[in-house]
Structure 1
Amino acid sequence: MKLCLGVGHQSEAENRGGRYSTNANQCSERMWHSSVKRAADAPWYIKNSMLHQDQEIPSISKFMKDASERFFDIASSHLNPLLVSAVSYEPPPLHHFCRIPLNVLLDPPDDLTVGLENLIELNKMAID
Structure 2
Amino acid sequence: MPSSADPSIGDVLRRGRLARAAWMTLGLVLVGIGIVGIVVPLLPTVDFMLLALPCFARSSPRLEAWLLSHARFGPPLRAWRHERAVPRHVKFMAIGGMAFGYGLFVLHVQPGLPLALLVAAVLLFWAVWIARRPEPGMRR
**Bigger RCO (CA 8 Å, 6+ sep):** 2
TM-score (norm 1): 0.25
TM-score, normalised to structure 2, is 0.24
Q: Which has the larger radius of gyration?
A: 1
